Amino acid sequence: MNKRVGKQTIETPSKPRIIATASIVGPKEGEGPLKDYFDIILEDDLNGKDTYEKAESSMMYTAVNEVIKKANFKEENIDYLLAGDLLNQLTSACFAAKDMDIPFIGLFGACSTMTESLAMGSLMIDGGYANHVIAATSSHFSSAERQFRFPLEYGSQRPPTAQWTVTGSGAMLLGREGNFPYISYVTMGKVKDYGVNDVNNMGEAMAPAAVDTIAQHLRDTGRTPDYYDIIATGDLGKVGKRITKELLLEHGFELKDNYIDCGDEIFEHERQKTNSGGSGCGCSAVVDCGYIYKNMLNGKFKRVLLVSTGALLSSTSCFQGLNIPGIAHAVAVEI
């Protein structure tokens, strides 16, 4: 059976279900407008650890264990853990996985990793290769900032286009059965490079990839933007969100009030001084696992297109002045 639809989209006829989600965030995220949707809000962004990297890893460990607990499962019920983060060699995910008795597949898609892991987990279940898979990711403001920009002690001024890396982790447990939101299509994106090399303007760097993936998904499936109650990009922020809407018009698709960006939603920018909004792997992860999933369960949203976006830079490439390629993957979730 050929499950490919169009050029880049795959249909998942078995409808892999999102059985449960878990989200954990830092204190700043817990003071934002979505605070009521998160499962755990930390009082201290070190989470009792002596480094920010250990704190981030502990958040992912907690999110994964929380989602297993919610489903009344045990670790032995999980066939695979698919997870990633922003740090070198997937530090947070690897150190979280070492304390679990679950086969681990590390994934890197920068901030697109939530939908990347969700897409790959869905395909594993739909293909008959697994019964239960967890997709997870994390980020931390302090660990990401000193890897990609400046030491925190430097106190550098942040331009208006800059975004605030979300301290948080989200996990989704996928299975085959139950009356839960299910994945109907996945659209894997292409790497796009439009010449942006400013590490303080991630929204502009990632927007073309989001546009390309959304447009291709709509062409492949024959759907229109208004088919979805919500189209949610991952972390473009105010700047990238505006660019995305403008560029999609050139493709013949108009995004209206059903379009949100997780980075634009998670903070109150003026009050919390987050400039263009939130970013990081954890941004779309906690908004998807919290705000969006819980509103699907209560019936507010029935058709959602999740489009996590990633800036594919490294600490080496940005310091060498190279461009920042972008990537975006889309997952259609319905109930």
CATH code for the domain of 282: 3.40.47.40
Query: Are 190 and 163 members of one domain?
Result: no
pLDDT at 319: 76
pLDDT at 179: 95
Per-residue pLDDT of the chain (335 residues; tens, 9 = 90+): 789 999 999 999 999 999 999 999 999 999 999 999 999 999 999 999 999 999 999 999 999 999 999 999 999 999 999 999 999 999 999 999 999 999 999 999 999 999 999 999 999 999 999 999 999 999 998 887 766 655 555 556 666 677 778 999 999 999 999 999 999 999 999 999 998 888 778 889 999 999 999 999 999 999 999 999 999 999 999 999 999 999 999 999 999 999 999 999 999 988 998 888 888 899 999 999 999 999 999 999 999 999 999 999 887 887 788 999 999 999 999 99
pLDDT at 273: 87
Domain end residue (candidates: 150, 175, 200): 175
Domain end residue (candidates: 175, 209, 238): 175
Q: Which amino acid is at 142?
A: S
Query: Are 250 and 161 members of one domain?
Result: no
Q: Distances from the Cα of 289 to the Cαs of 19, 26, 103, 223, in angstroms?
A: 11, 15, 22, 24
Q: Distances from the Cα of 243 to the Cαs of 210, 211, 229, in angstroms?
A: 10, 9, 21
Query: Are 209 and 159 members of one domain?
Result: no
Query: Are 263 and 125 members of one domain?
Result: no
- Per DSSP, the residues of 144-164 read HHHHHS--GGG-PPPPTT--E
Work out whether strand 17-25 and strand 326-334 pair parallel, antiparallel, or are unpaired.
unpaired
pLDDT digits (tens, 9 = 90+) for 61-111: 999 999 999 999 999 999 999 999 999 999 999 999 999 999 999 999 999
- The label of the residue with tokens 């605070």 reads 35
Query: Are 139 and 263 members of one domain?
Result: no
Residues 6 or more apart in contact with residue 222 via CB below 8 angstroms: none
User: What domain count does the chain have?
Assistant: 2
Query: Are 225 and 304 members of one domain?
Result: yes
Q: How far apart, in whole angstroms, are the C-alpha atoms of residue 292 and residue 289?
A: 6
Question: What domain range includes position 322?
Answer: 182-334
Strands (E), the chain: 4-5, 9-11, 17-25, 40-41, 80-84, 104-106, 133-139, 164-165, 168-175, 182-187, 230-233, 259-261, 278-279, 303-311, 326-334
Query: Are 10 and 145 members of one domain?
Result: yes
Residues 6 or more apart in contact with residue 157 via CB below 8 angstroms: none
Query: Are 212 and 298 members of one domain?
Result: yes
pLDDT at 276: 85
pLDDT at 152: 59
Is the CB of residue 168 less than 8 Å from the CB of residue 204? no
- List beta partners, residue 266: none
Query: Are 132 and 50 members of one domain?
Result: yes
Query: Are 159 and 263 members of one domain?
Result: no
Query: Are 65 and 123 members of one domain?
Result: yes
- List beta partners, residue 23: 170
pLDDT at 153: 54
Long-range contact pairs involving 290-293 (C-beta distance under 8 Å, separation at least 24): 290/21, 290/23, 290/34, 290/37, 290/38, 290/39, 290/170, 291/34, 291/37, 291/265, 292/230, 292/232, 293/18, 293/21, 293/172, 293/181
What's the pTM value of the predicted model, to 2 decimals?
A: 0.95
Domain end residue (candidates: 156, 175, 194): 175
Query: Are 207 and 171 members of one domain?
Result: no
